[in-house]
Structure 1
């Protein structure tokens, strides 16, 4: 398993590093910082604050981010840290705290997807049209045992701006080209990428398709699939379930939703592992604990997450699959 969906603040990075075979040569981080103010004008005060907006992801304070013990992830190599220009000094302090020496700053020039023109954002004196990517090195850059290729990219990256805070894939591409044989880790990742280890609470928020672990064919939407209750996680299509003469007592019977909009939304019920609010899709509820629920992604990885300390829930407890929403009723 090369990805773990969890809140990085509550995971044992040391256990995770060791589980994944040791330190990483390259770390890419895009922290979801809670910004209380940016550029200030003479009379206007703060001109930029994401505290005014609702996000599809959880943010963290500058103190919470600085307190992360990211220094344990590697004893060598390079760290790429995204930052706003107004937080550049803070980002440099974080690099030092994590044990990295500042090397260079790259700039991502934001472009409009359709027109290709520069995307201008907020700002007081000037409109912001770029974000910066700080590069740090742990150890002597001239004596690095991590192999890397120089001059594969300029210090300016031109890429389209899409959903809020999403970064261009061109950054991953040039890192892959510059560090072809390195162990790469992305923190606060939104999606997985071949050749990378990924860690973040936005991974696989909704799995739109499943494959049968026996015949390896995609299980069609609205088709019944069978998920094993205990032991190694398996999803079987209905044909393989019948052909293998599996017992219904050992599997959950689940009907795939056609898309995210058709999936059940369990309002006010969050996943006790990745902390995602209002579980979407099948909810797995512990049959022995009064209030312990997992989304399907965390249920599939429950043994792995328990072994690295993400959850303390007893792995021997049985679960039941809940695919219907039961609204909470109140008595006044």
Structure 2
């Protein structure tokens, strides 16, 4: 187990945004579960950041993101990155899961309220789909517009 410190970069904004926090922590144990717990404790207890689901990854020599989700992945990281111990943490919550369109019903599956992105038909006067039905192409012959926030019809 390498001695020293582990650099952690926490990307706490949506992809494409530059909000991040860089920290150095004492090198945790060689157990993935302990690493995960230490990251949670540091970010959400010590730093008092909003609790969320997150994913852990590192960047390899080809600039690819390599996910770290279990002990095997962590062992590979420790072997490959012995000289550059740097992990990245990114929010893993799909922000569309938190959008609720009150009073809007999916005209295909009848879900109400609609949760997630709402899709409105550009040709039909009153036709909405939930994101699951839109991705399943339940209204394929017309153009649909994605409505990310709860908006009332004009």
Q: Normalising by structure 2, what TM-score? A: 0.37
* Structure with bigger gyration radius: 1
Bigger strand share: 2
